[in-house]
Amino acid sequence: MNAIELSRVSVRYASGRLALEDIELSVRKGEICAVLGPNGAGKSTLVKVISGALPPQRGEVRILGEPLSRLDRREIAKRIALVPQTSEPAVGFSVREIVMMGRAPHQGAWMRASKHDEEAVERAIAACELESLAGRGVAELSGGEQQRVAIARALAQEAPVLLLDEATAHLDVRHFIALSELVCREVQERGLACLMVLHDLNAAAQYADRIALLKAGRLVAHGSIEEVMTYRRLKEVFEAELYVGVNELDNARYFLPVRPQLGPSPRRDG
């Protein structure tokens, strides 16, 4: 079953700019779809549309079969957890309080935390290795630490759809691996549907089941890593020379930017 389904979605900002045009895209349960594309391609706009923050002018978004336009904010928050590309750190709140905010859609009017709420928060804090920071003010943390808090909050929400907009961009390599593995496990074990916007082509090739390639608001390719992440296609979309290799450890593709004076990459895969 498709957990996320977009049919013919178009978005125009008030400025008149067409940010998404006729997007057809679906993500199944238990699947990670990486969204790649140059700056300004419409990746964050796509995430905003799927999260219900931005209604499309045309087309429809369905979440677990239900049109998004028929769900209220609370119902959306029960279904969709989002780590946005940018957010202001909430001054005056501790890490644990921020992660607990992920439980809000499950709580009543008085926001009383149940035993299950507490457990979900502690599990997310431990999974994101935030135990030693849990009592600290979130505004005092580094960019990478704040990203781990945002991911913990999203996981504590226990929603079946997870949207990550460059959520691992500021992590050091160890935390990048730990949190990417964590997302992978959650997707597999809990059957989440995950759409992640990435700039790191190598991370996309390692962790995604499918790739959606955006350019200038259009979905120019959608499919497996082998189908989409080719020398020719990436060069056309990013307007950059990339060496496309195959890692002997796991046969995954890897990508190296090539300095322009070196000319076209010698290794081409199609």
Residues in the site for ligand ADP, rule: CB under 6 A?
Answer: 13, 15, 17, 19, 37, 39-45
In whole angstroms, give the CA distance from residue 7 to residue 103. Answer: 30
Select 42 or 52, whichever has its Cβ closest to ligand ADP. 42
Select 42 or 105, whichever has its Cβ closest to ligand ADP. 42
Binding segment for Mg ion (CB under 5 A), chosen from 8-16, 39-47, 96-104, 126-134, is 39-47
Residue 46 CB coordination number (10 Å):
29
Residue 44 interacts with Mg ion (CB under 5 A): yes or no: yes
Contacting Mg ion within 70-109 (CB under 5 A):
85
3-state helix, strand, coil in the chain (%, to 5): 35, 25, 35
Binds 59: which of Mg ion, ligand ADP, none (CB < 5-8 Å by kind): none
Select 11 or 130, whichever has its Cβ closest to ligand ADP. 11
Binds 13: which of ligand ADP, Mg ion, none (CB < 5-8 Å by kind): ligand ADP
Identify which of 204, 209, 205, 198 has the alpha carbon closest to the alpha carbon of residue 252: 205
113, with CB counted inside 10 A (0-12, 13-18, 19+), is middle
Binds 143: which of Mg ion, ligand ADP, none (CB < 5-8 Å by kind): none
Residue 45 interacts with Mg ion (CB under 5 A): yes or no: no
Can you give 65-84 as a three-state secondary structure string? CEEHHHCCHHHHHHHEEEEC
Positive or negative, the CA dihedral 229, 246, 203, 223 is: positive
Select 7 or 85, whichever has its Cβ closest to Mg ion. 85
Smallest distance, Å, CB 9 to ligand ADP? 13
Select 17 or 232, whichever has its Cβ closest to ligand ADP. 17
3-state class (DSSP) for residue 193: strand
Select 37 or 52, whichever has its Cβ closest to ligand ADP. 37
Identify which of 136, 147, 130, 129 has the alpha carbon closest to the alpha carbon of residue 86: 147
Smallest distance, Å, CB 82 to ligand ADP? 14
**Gyration radius (Cα) of the chain, Å:** 19
Residue 51 interacts with Mg ion (CB under 5 A): yes or no: no
Chain-centre distance for alpha carbon 258: 27
Q: Which residues would be at the binding site for Mg ion (CB under 5 A)?
A: 43-44, 85
